[in-house]
Amino acid sequence: MIKIDTLFFTIVNRGKANAVLRKAKECGATGGTILLGEGTVQSKLLEFLGMTEIRKEILMIPASGDLDANLHDQLSETFKFSKRNKGIAFSVPFKRWTLEASDQEHNISIDDDRFTHCCILTIVDKGRSRDCITAARAAGARGGTLIHGHGAGVPADSYYPLAIEPQKDTVLVVTRKDKAASVRERIFSDLELDKPGNGIIFTLPVSTTSGLFETRTEERKGGTS
């Protein structure tokens, strides 16, 4: 078991995050932040009908070492992450930055062998997130989660001195490390991210996952690796 500080991410259906957070607090977490997002469906019929959206909530809990493992075990069991479509959880090594320890350095590296998965984040203009998911799927990823946000203000030339805040979608794809490179490049080239203003893509290491399905037949992957 890796003893590092992490941010514990859970993606569950809309409305369940509060229950998960309560359970997490029982396990010893001090708090968490909840974001609204959207999941994706894989069905030709639904796609044709334009119903490609499942409402999700993303819960982030700062956790360290033991708590992280504890959360994975407890939450997977309570909320049955091992079953399909019940939700997923994964941990990203994140250092909580503090002033007193400002001489600290990163003690984690993305290509560490302990990290079995990668979390690929793509930030694109609103409306292009579907293309992004399509590209990720084409390269072998299973699905993704969208989070709506907005870019920091850019002053615009219009009658009112508005600072235009462009609407952005963040696409979150968790995939096995060996697939990550191809997924990343596929998204990069399909969405033409090499052109300025089209968006950015970056990858975070993932230390532990629960409830993630890589293929249709594969059973619970990762567990507490």
Partner 1 sequence: MSLLFDKTKEVTKTLLPVVVLVLIICFTIVDVETDVILRFIVGSVLLLIGLTIFLWGVELAMNPIGEHMSREVATSKSPVKIAILSFLLGFLITVAEPDLLILGDQVEGASGGTLASAIIVYMVSIGVGVMISLGIFRLLKDKPLNKFMAITYGIIFALAILVSEEFLAIAFDASGATTGALTTPFVLALSLGLSNVKGGKGSEENSFGLVGIMSAGPILAVMLLSIISGQKNIQGDAGEYIFQEGVIGPMLEAIPHLFIESLIALLPISILFFIFNFTKFKIKKGEMGGIIKGLTFTLLGLVIFLTAVNSGFMDMGRILGMEIAKMNTWLLIGIGFALGLIVVLVEPAVHVLGEQIEEVTGGHIPVRLIRMTLSIGVGIAIALSMVRIVVPEVKLWYFLLPGFAIGILLSFKSNPIFVGIAYDAGGVASGPMTATFVLAFAQGAATSIETANVLVDGFGVIAMVAMAPVLSIMILGTIFQRKKVEYHQTSEDKSTKATSPVRRDDLYYDCLLVIVNRGFADNVVDLARQSGATGATIIHGRGTGDHQTVVLPIINIELQPEKEIVCLITETDISANVANNLLKDSWLEQEGEVAVFISPTVAMIKDLTLDNSFLED
Give least dist CB 137 to partner 1, A: 15
Taking the mean position of all CA atoms in its chain, how far away is CA 17? 15
The answer to whether residues 8 and 30 touch, using CB atoms and an 8 Å cutoff, is no
Assign 68 to helix, strand or coil: helix
Residues 118-177 binding partner 1 (CB under 8 A) are: 121, 123, 127, 130-131, 147-153, 156-160, 162-165, 167-168, 170
How far apart CA 68 and CA 138 sit, in angstroms, is: 32
Is 21 a binding residue for partner 1 by CB under 8 A? The answer is: yes
Is 33 a binding residue for partner 1 by CB under 8 A? The answer is: yes
Assign 94 to helix, strand or coil: coil
Residues 34-93 binding partner 1 (CB under 8 A) are: 34-36, 39, 41, 43, 46, 49-51, 53-55, 57, 62, 64, 85, 92-93
Which of 1, 19, 28, 31 binds partner 1 (CB under 8 A)? It is 31
Residue among 157 and 219 whose Cβ is closer to partner 1: 157
Half-sphere exposure of 29 (CA within 13 A, CB side): 26
The contact mask relative to partner 1 for 97-116 (x = CB under 8 A, - = no) is xxxxxx-xxxxxxxx-----
Q: For the chain, how far is it from start to end, CA to CA, in angstroms?
A: 7
The residue to which tokens 């993303």 are assigned: 58
Residue among 119 and 212 whose Cβ is closer to partner 1: 119
The residue to which tokens 């009112």 are assigned: 160
How far apart CA 159 and CA 165 sit, in angstroms, is: 16
Give the torsion sign (CA, 220, 23, 53, 193).
negative
Which of 8, 12, 20, 32 binds partner 1 (CB under 8 A)? It is 32
Is 192 a binding residue for partner 1 by CB under 8 A? The answer is: no
If binding means CB under 8 A, how many residues of this protein chain bind partner 1?
83
Residue among 27 and 34 whose Cβ is closer to partner 1: 34
